[in-house]
């Protein structure tokens, strides 16, 4: 019986050695895989940083802002305000210094109506440009604009249609 136990012990020692060696081999494989993954991650991280730094230097950031007062001609009769003004101009044909001056001078006033602006050179607005103005329009489809024009709306209806002396009207 003692011999048998010694043989069993010897066999167990051999099995333990093999199990420990197999475990060590598997741990080495896992460790190598983890190291390869970490190195790959670090390489891609630095490549990405390099690419992003090159792109940032080529592009300038542009501050954008939303224009709440710039509208299309088709929106002239549909604003939610009870009373407002709309200034129609063509940025390609009209004197833009004069237009900007009109807008800024009007916006500096204390008691004023809200002023919307419409650039008639935009593609959606070009169909409303005409040689003759329609001062009695009841909808945007009937509206015809010729040159710099200010229209005073009250309850979404035209109250005043001004093409001359706009500076005096806006004072």
- pLDDT score recorded for residue 10: 61
Do 121 and 159 have their domain in common? yes
Q: Within a 13 Å sphere around the CA of 72, how many CA atoms are in the beta-carbon half?
A: 10
**Greater model confidence, 1 or 26:** 26
Do 52 and 77 have their domain in common? no
Which of 28, 44, 63 finishes a domain? Answer: 63
Task: Please check the confidence at residue 28 and state whether its pLDDT lies above 80.
Answer: yes
- Tell me the average pLDDT of the chain: 82
Look at 19-33, 92-106, 131-145 and tell me which has the smallest mean pLDDT: 19-33
Task: Please check the confidence at residue 127 and state whether its pLDDT lies above 80.
Answer: yes
- pLDDT score recorded for residue 62: 62
Which of 63, 89, 107 finishes a domain? Answer: 63
**Has residue 109 been placed in a domain?**
yes
Number of structural domains, the chain?
A: 2
H or E segment and range at residue 154: strand 149-154
Which of 23, 39, 63 finishes a domain? Answer: 63
CB 54 within 8 A of CB 117: no
Average of per-residue pLDDT across 35-56: 86
- Rounded to an integer, what distance in angstroms lies between the CA atom of residue 96 and that of residue 50? 44
Q: What is the CATH number of the domain that holds 119?
A: 3.40.30.10
Q: pLDDT tens, 58-114?
A: 555 666 655 668 899 989 999 999 999 999 998 888 788 888 888 888 888 888 889
DSSP state of 146: -
Share of the chain above pLDDT 90, in %: 26
Residue numbers of the domain that contains 157: 73-170
Do 36 and 106 have their domain in common? no
**Greater model confidence, 27 or 148:** 148
- pLDDT score recorded for residue 21: 65
Q: Are strands 114-119 and 83-89 parallel, antiparallel or unpaired?
A: parallel
Do 86 and 54 have their domain in common? no
**Greater model confidence, 155 or 53:** 155
**Has residue 141 been placed in a domain?**
yes
Average of per-residue pLDDT across 12-36: 74
pLDDT band at 43 (very low <50, low <70, confident <90, very high): very high
- pLDDT score recorded for residue 168: 87
Confidence (pTM): 0.60
Do 57 and 77 have their domain in common? no
Do 38 and 115 have their domain in common? no
**Has residue 68 been placed in a domain?**
no
């Amino acid at each position: 019986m003692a011999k048998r136990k010694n043989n069993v012990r010897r066999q167990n020692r051999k099995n333990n050695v093999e199990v420990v060696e197999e475990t060590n081999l598997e741990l080495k494989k896992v460790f190598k895989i983890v190291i390869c993954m970490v190195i790959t991650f670090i390489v891609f991280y630095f490549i990405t940083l390099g690419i992003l730094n090159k792109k940032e230097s080529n592009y300038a950031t542009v501050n954008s802002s939303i224009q709440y007062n710039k509208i299309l001609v088709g929106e002239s009769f549909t604003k939610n305000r009870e009373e407002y003004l709309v200034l129609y101009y063509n940025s390609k044909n009209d004197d833009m210094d004069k237009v900007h001056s009109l807008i800024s001078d009007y916006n500096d006033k204390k008691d004023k109506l809200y002023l919307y602006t419409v650039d008639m050179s935009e593609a959606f607005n070009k169909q409303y440009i005409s040689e003759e103005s329609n001062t009695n329009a009841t909808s945007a489809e009937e509206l015809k604009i010729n040159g710099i024009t200010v229209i005073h709306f009250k309850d979404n209806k035209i109250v005043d249609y001004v093409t001359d002396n706009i500076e005096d009207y806006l004072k």
